[in-house]
Structure 1
C-alpha cells in the first residue's frame, strides 16, 4: 500500500519519502523538514500515534494525517493527536490526494509516508 500512496502523491507533484516502519521514519524526522507525516496507525514496532506524537514534539508545524481501517483506533488517534486528519480505509487514491490538497491548499509540500 505504501508504494501506491507514495506514487499517487508523487504524480500529484508532491515530494515523498516512504519508509516501512515508524522506527525507520525517526531519523528522517530528526534530520529533514517535512510538511506532512502520513502514517498508518497500526504498525509493528512503533504505532502511528507514537510516531505522530514524536514528530509533533520535534516539528510542531508538521501536519499529520493518519490512515486506518479500525474505527476504535480512529477515536484513540483523535484524542492523542487532536489536530491530525484521519482518513478511513478503504479509500480511493484520489481521496488521499484531495485530502492532502485540502490540508495545504496550493502550498508546496514534501511529505513522509
Structure 2
C-alpha cells in the first residue's frame, strides 16, 4: 500500500521486508529518503535506524508505527531520540503521508 501510494505520486520506491533487507538495498541504490516501520522481523526499526544514522548520517529517515507491545507513540519517540527523524503514527491518511514526504525534500527554512 505504501509503495503504491508513493509510486503513484512519481517516486521511485525500493521495498524491503525488514531492516536487514533494507541495509542490503541501501548498499545497492542511492536513497534520498528511507521510510521504515518500527516493528519488523529480523532487524526492527529501532536497530535499523541506529545503523542508518551511524552509517549514513545525512540520510533522511521517516519512522512509522501502529504500535505493538507498547504504544505507537513510544516507538516513535524512541526513534526521534536517534536524530532528526520524521515520525508518523498509523493509521495515517494518504495526504498526511505525502505532505510529510514532500517536507523531507523541501529546502531548510
Per the shorter chain, which TM-score range?
0.7 to 0.9
- In 1: Cα distance, 2:52 partner to 2:28 partner: 12
Q: TM-score, normalised by structure 1?
A: 0.82
Give the aligned length.
102
- In 1: Cα distance, 2:77 partner to 2:51 partner: 19
Gapped regions of structure 2 (runs ≥ 5) = 67-71
Q: Which residue number corresponds to residue 84 of structure 1?
A: 85
Q: Give the one of 41, 56, 77 matched to 1:44.
A: 41
Aligned 8 A contact 2:18 2:43 in 1 = yes
Q: Give the one of 71, 74, 80 matched to 1:72.
A: 74
Gapped regions of structure 1 (runs ≥ 5) = 107-113
Cα deviation 1:70-100 (Å, max 9, x = unaligned): 1221221121x22000001110122111110
Query: Which structure's relative contact order is higher, taking Cα pairs within 8 Å and 6+ residues apart?
Result: 1
Q: TM-score, normalised by structure 2?
A: 0.85
- In 2: Cα distance, 1:10 partner to 1:73 partner: 27
Aligned Cα RMSD in Å? 1.5
Aligned 8 A contact 2:63 2:86 in 1 = yes
